[in-house]
Amino acid sequence: MSATDQASGHLHNPHGLPDIKPFRLGKHVLERPILLAPMVGVSDVPFREVCLQQGATLTIAEMLPADTAMWKSEKNRLRLRRTAACGPEIVQIAGFDPSMMAEAARLNADMGAEVIDINMGCPAKKVLKKAAGSALMRDPELVEQILRAVVQAVDIPVTLKMRTGWCRAQKNGVDIARIAEDCGIRMISVHGRTRECRFVGEVEYDTIAAIKQSIGIPVIANGDIDSPEKALQVLRHTGADGLMIGRAAQGKPWIFREIRQYLEHGDHARPPSASEISILMQDHICALHAFYGDFRGTLFARKHIDWYSKALPGGELLKSEFMQADCVTDQQDILQNWHREHLSLLTVVAAQTHQ
């Protein structure tokens, strides 16, 4: 990123973190951002709204296929939904054909996207079969063609989500990052594992650090960042310009607020009481019902209750009852009754919520 694209001033911090300047992504100036990762089946509009309310700087929509013929499905139609409540609209596209990717980027820009993110990190088999996602990292020449085509197709920033390489024997993350910078990519998010590793094993923070040192555009570190202390450790180790949180936000969206408080002020944010979690959970489930409708809404709600229940005293009993409910009304009644019946208990044990 050129000097004209950087905002002036340095970011002060109490932890001796790398001295970085805030950077600009389109019309937005970001100071050590904490982003919600794009997760298929998770980072929909309701969840992104919750995470922004809980302190996320930016949220990225679920991966959208570059093949526009697939946009007519109900699943992808919902992924195209726009809402100002999700903050800057960042749309992630996935594909293997440069012209198709460019067209998908153009159409999303026309529909109000403020940033286009290119998926080069997804390790899912159905994505890899189409030579998209992290499979692209096997073909640097195709990577360059795709990145140039998308950057030239739109007037908004284009970012990249990638891994450290295709497999342990082929860790070409530094080379891909240099290609991306040369093509005009404005920010790179790196999940510190290869495609082969998927989501298991140690995260390669050394590789993220090497990528950061090899390019001049902002680098966002991603992978197993699940606490304020871990966030500080990763920033110190990698020198990254920001963090991306994925699975750690599932059932615990307030992790963004906790990390922000720790990095900016050096102390721990007050954890939400169990009663506050219960209210947040109810609001989130109602939003899911409204967004997906009765049938799909009840299915998606079960997944989130599974995660939320882990943060609540007696959560296993709530989860067990909730999973048996098969309609919106029953699910909402269960949450309301549980909150009312357990309110006194929730108040008493609030301090134990995160032990």
The residues that are catalytic are 122
Residues 6+ apart with CB under 8 A from 38: 60, 61, 62, 63, 92, 117, 119, 161
Residues 6+ apart with CB under 8 A from 329: none
Contact predicate 168/194, CB 8 Å: yes
Vertex 173 angle, CA 12 and 196, to 5°: 120
Question: What gap in Å lies between CA 93 and CA 185, rounded to an integer?
Answer: 14
Residues 6+ apart with CB under 8 A from 44: 62, 78, 79, 288, 291, 300
Three-state SS annotation for 204-245: CHHHHHHHHHHCCCCEEEECCCCCHHHHHHHHHHHCCCEEEE
What is the DSSP annotation of 154-186?
A: -SS-EEEEEES-SBTTB--HHHHHHHHHHHT--
What is the DSSP annotation of 250-283?
A: TT-TTHHHHHHHHHHHSSPPPPPPHHHHHHHHHH
Helices and strands (H and E) in the chain: how many: 13, 11
Would you state the structure tokens that stand for residue 177, as one six-digit string? 């990052």
Which amino acid would we find at residue 37?
A: A
Contact predicate 43/35, CB 8 Å: no
Distance of CA 125 to the CA centre of its chain: 20
